[in-house]
């Protein structure tokens, strides 16, 4: 109970400070929109069938890139005034600190995604994108959790590096691939207006499995990363 | 086909040996560099102790 | 004395490798479907097993480091990863050349190859990250955490041929406790096992040499601190 309260207060603290400046949200949101525009040069936007087939991959690339911006800031914002040292030294356990940060990042990234999704669907004329809205949102939530839990972990690791902005993407994208891959496949199916059937269930299992594996692995090892 | 088969087999083995040799060479180079660094650092320490 | 033993072992293993080359090229016949090119497997399969083993041991020692906080585990795990990466490159290069003949392409994005490539990138990033950290104990701690995470990718690579339908062939060796495999000619398998032995010993020697260097590196770092302190 105390653990949950600590987690919630860390998350609330992060979200509050983000809402005051809106730095990450603005940067991630506009970056995501820029990439969506860039995609229109890469493929022929009038060939709706092709766009449907690529939709999951395109969307998750946008999400992953935008996510990296949010994740980079997550721990870096605590560096001025030695806030990070204070947080680590405070009675909040490191796993609560980690989970709180991850929850805040998750919420922020989810907001960006929920803006991008209809924009993407509308601008590329994907009229069927919302036919399976419930399952699609479920996949988005699961995929985003995987991305943020790994990202927050590696954000905590790379925050001490000299070249943290360079190192985070190099480390984090390869590790994220299982989550991203599963989310891409499932999103493509759902945005094309089909239900998840047969062969696709393995991707859902993979997505849930990796969320569980990476969450528990992070909680097990976070004590070694966030120490004063 | 058979000729190409043979050439590529040769390429494969060559690649394996070359990579292995290249790694050994980097190890040797690093060994030298480290020895040099230890040497110069020790000399620097002795110099300062004399002063 | 220890160094001498290492060098003798290394030379012996290299000689064994050269002797195996004779068996592979002269004694063994061409394979009926693939012709001469199949001989690449004598490097390809052992190289991958060596690197899987190295990554596995690096993962184990990383966890041990986190639990026991002794530098020797960190020293081992970075050495194993570096040697493993060299063998990963051998595996990728030989595999690619083999694929050019058998599949007609240098590369295909099937599950096994993709994951092998991801693993390669991950461990390269691990080594890069280590270079960017100056404090030895933080470096060891963070590297150990990254190494534990990276091992999931090795596990997926290893299992990929069972989880997905891949273009990459399934198991061929008759390992104890494995129902699939065992389809290889015994004479070829014997030669393969000898090559395994040689490459394993070479990898072990390289890891030991690399460990000495890592210790030397620590010496350099502490000398540097002393010089600065004066």
| Inter-CA distances, C118 with A76, A162, C153, C157, Å | 27, 24, 7, 9
pLDDT tens, C16-34? 888 888 877 777 777 767 7
Q: What pLDDT is recorded for position A130?
A: 81
Scanning A178-207 for CB atoms below 8 A from C yields 178, 202
**Across the interface, which of C122, C142, C144 has its CB nearest the CB of A175?**
C122
* Chain C residue with Cα closest to A222: C145
B1: three-class secondary structure by DSSP: coil
Domain ranges of chain B: 15-51
d(CA A39, CA A33): 10
Sign of dihedral through CA atoms C74, C128, A160, B34?
A: positive
Residue A92 structure tokens: 């909040």
Q: What pLDDT is recorded for position C77?
A: 94
Scanning C101-140 for CB atoms below 8 A from A yields 118, 121-122, 125-126, 128-129, 132-133, 138
- Which residues of A fall within a CB distance of 8 Å from C77? none
| Inter-CA distances, A77 with A48, A80, A166, A226, C110, Å | 41, 7, 17, 15, 40
Query: What are the phi and psi torsion angles at B34 (to 5°)?
Result: -65, -45
C near B: at least 3 beta-carbon pairs less than 8 Å apart: yes
Q: Quote the longest CA-to-CA distance of chain B.
A: 75
DSSP classification of residue B51: -
Q: Which of C78, C86, C89 lies closest to C143 in space, CA to CA?
A: C78
* Chain A residue with Cα closest to C121: A174
Q: How far is CA C16 from the centre of its chain?
A: 19
Residue C154 structure tokens: 């090795």
Mutant choice from C145, C151, C160, C166 vs A, greatest count of A C-beta within 10 A: C145
> What value, to the nearest 5°, has the Cα angle with vertex B11 and ends B8 and B17?
150
Query: What are the phi and psi torsion angles at C31 (to 5°)?
Result: -80, 150
A219 touches chain C (CB under 8 A): no
Q: What pLDDT is recorded for position B1?
A: 55
Residues 6 or more apart in contact with residue C169 via CB below 8 angstroms: C161
> What value, to the nearest 5°, has the Cα angle with vertex B42 and ends B39 and B45?
150
Q: Look at B6 and C90 and tell me if their CB atoms are within 8 Å.
A: no
Q: What pLDDT is recorded for position C121?
A: 92
User: pTM for the complete prediction?
Assistant: 0.87
Looking at the complex, report in whole angstroms how far the Cα of residue B41 sits from the nearest Cα belonging to chain C: 6
Q: Look at C145 and A177 and tell me if their CB atoms are within 8 Å.
A: no
Looking at the complex, report in whole angstroms how far the Cα of residue C53 sits from the nearest Cα belonging to chain B: 17
Q: Which of A215, A19, A56 lies closest to A135 in space, CA to CA?
A: A56
Q: Which segment of A127-136, C86-95, C155-164 scores lowest on mean pLDDT?
A: C155-164
C156 touches chain A (CB under 8 A): yes
**Across the interface, which of A171, A178, A213 has its CB nearest the CB of C129?**
A171
- Which residues of C fall within a CB distance of 8 Å from A163? 132
Sign of dihedral through CA atoms C156, C162, C166, C168?
A: positive
Q: What pLDDT is recorded for position C174?
A: 56
Q: What pLDDT is recorded for position A194?
A: 84
Mean of per-residue pLDDT scores for chain B: 86
Contact, C19 vs C201, CB < 8 A? no
Contact, C48 vs C91, CB < 8 A? yes
pLDDT tens, A140-156? 999 999 999 999 999 99
Q: What pLDDT is recorded for position C180?
A: 54
C180 touches chain B (CB under 8 A): no
**Across the interface, which of A161, A174, A213 has its CB nearest the CB of C129?**
A161
pLDDT tens, C82-99? 999 999 999 999 998 888
Q: What pLDDT is recorded for position A61?
A: 93
Q: Which of A54, A70, A76 lies closest to A109 in space, CA to CA?
A: A70
Q: Quote the longest CA-to-CA distance of chain C.
A: 71
Q: Look at C132 and A171 and tell me if their CB atoms are within 8 Å.
A: no
Mean of per-residue pLDDT scores for chain C: 85
3-state secondary structure labels for all residues of chain A: CHHHHHHHHHHHHHHHHHHHHCHHHHHHHHHHHHHHHHHHHHCCCCCHHHHHHHHHHHHHHHHHHHHHHHHHHHHHCCCHHHHHHHHHHCCCCHHHHHHHHHHHHHHHHHHHHHHHHHHHHHHCCCCCCCCCHHHHHHHHHHHHHHHHHHHHHHHHHHCCCCCHHHHHHHHHHHHHHHHHHHHHHHHHHHHCCCCCCHHHHHHHHHHHHHHHHHHHHHHHHHHHHCCC
Query: What are the phi and psi torsion angles at A154 (to 5°)?
Result: -75, -25
A10-26 burial by CB neighbour count: b if 16+ within 10 A, else e?
Answer: bbeebbeebeeeeebbe
Domain ranges of chain A: 2-225
Looking at the complex, report in whole angstroms how far the Cα of residue C193 sits from the nearest Cα belonging to chain B: 17
d(CA A219, CA A173): 20
Looking at the complex, report in whole angstroms how far the Cα of residue A117 sits from the nearest Cα belonging to chain C: 28
pLDDT tens, A15-46? 999 999 888 899 999 999 999 989 888 888 78
Q: Look at A224 and C152 and tell me if their CB atoms are within 8 Å.
A: no
Q: Look at C125 and A157 and tell me if their CB atoms are within 8 Å.
A: no
| Percent of chain C whose pLDDT exceeds 90 | 33
* Chain B residue with Cα closest to C10: B24
For the ranges A198-202, C9-13, C188-192, the maximum mean pLDDT occurs at C9-13
Residue C94 structure tokens: 């030989």
- Which residues of C fall within a CB distance of 8 Å from A153? 145, 149
Q: Which of C120, C110, C106, C119 lies closest to C168 in space, CA to CA?
A: C110
Q: What pLDDT is recorded for position A67?
A: 92
* Chain A residue with Cα closest to C143: A157
DSSP classification of residue B31: H
ipTM computed for the complex:
0.84
d(CA A183, CA A195): 14
């Amino acid at each position: 109970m105390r653990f949950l309260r600590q987690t919630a207060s860390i998350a609330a603290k992060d979200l509050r400070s983000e809402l005051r400046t809106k730095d990450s949200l603005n940067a991630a949101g506009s970056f995501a929109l820029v990439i969506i525009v860039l995609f229109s040069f890469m493929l022929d936007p009038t060939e709706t069938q092709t766009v449907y087939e690529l939709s999951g991959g395109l969307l998750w690339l946008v999400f992953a890139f935008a996510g990296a911006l949010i994740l980079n800031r997550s721990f870096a914002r605590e560096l001025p005034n030695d806030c990070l040292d204070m947080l680590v030294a405070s009675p909040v356990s490191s796993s609560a600190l980690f989970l709180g940060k991850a929850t805040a990042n998750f919420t922020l990234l989810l907001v960006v995604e929920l803006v991008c999704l209809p924009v993407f669907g509308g601008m590329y004329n994907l009229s069927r994108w919302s036919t399976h809205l419930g399952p699609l949102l479920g996949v988005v939530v699961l995929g985003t959790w995987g991305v943020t839990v790994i990202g927050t972990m590696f954000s905590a690791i790379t925050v001490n590096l000299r070249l943290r902005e360079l190192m985070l993407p190099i480390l984090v994208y390869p590790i994220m691939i299982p989550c991203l891959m599963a989310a891409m496949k499932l999103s493509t199916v759902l945005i094309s207006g089909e239900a998840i059937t047969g062969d696709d269930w393995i991707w859902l299992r993979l997505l849930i499995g990796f969320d569980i594996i990476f969450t528990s692995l992070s909680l097990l090892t976070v004590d070694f990363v966030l120490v004063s | 086909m058979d000729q190409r088969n043979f050439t590529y087999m040769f390429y494969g083995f060559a690649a394996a040996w070359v990579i292995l040799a290249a790694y050994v060479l980097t190890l040797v180079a690093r060994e030298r560099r480290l020895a040099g660094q230890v040497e110069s650092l020790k000399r620097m320490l002795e110099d300062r102790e004399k002063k | 004395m220890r160094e001498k033993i290492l060098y003798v072992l290394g030379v012996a293993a290299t000689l064994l490798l050269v002797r195996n080359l004779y068996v592979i090229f002269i004694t063994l016949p061409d394979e009926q479907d693939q012709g001469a090119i199949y001989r690449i497997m004598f490097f390809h399969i052992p190289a991958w097993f060596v690197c899987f083993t190295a990554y596995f041991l690096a993962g184990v020692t990383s966890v041990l480091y986190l639990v026991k906080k002794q530098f020797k585990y960190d020293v081992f795990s970075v050495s194993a990863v570096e040697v493993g990466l060299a063998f990963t490159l051998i595996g990728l290069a030989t595999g690619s050349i083999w694929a050019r003949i058998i599949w007609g392409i240098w590369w295909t994005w099937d599950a096994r190859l993709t994951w092998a490539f991801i693993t390669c990138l991950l461990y390269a990033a691990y080594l890069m990250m280590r270079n960017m950290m100056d404090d030895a104990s933080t470096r060891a701690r963070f590297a150990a955490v990254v190494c534990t995470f990276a091992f999931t990718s090795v596990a997926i690579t290893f299992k990929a041929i069972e989880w997905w339908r891949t273009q990459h062939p399934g198991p061929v060796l008759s390992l104890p406790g494995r129902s699939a495999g065992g389809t290889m000619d015994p004479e070829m398998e014997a030669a393969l096992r000898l090559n395994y032995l040689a490459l394993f010993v070479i990898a072990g020697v390289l890891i030991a040499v690399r460990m000495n260097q890592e210790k030397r590196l620590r010496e350099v770092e502490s000398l540097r601190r002393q010089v600065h302190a004066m």
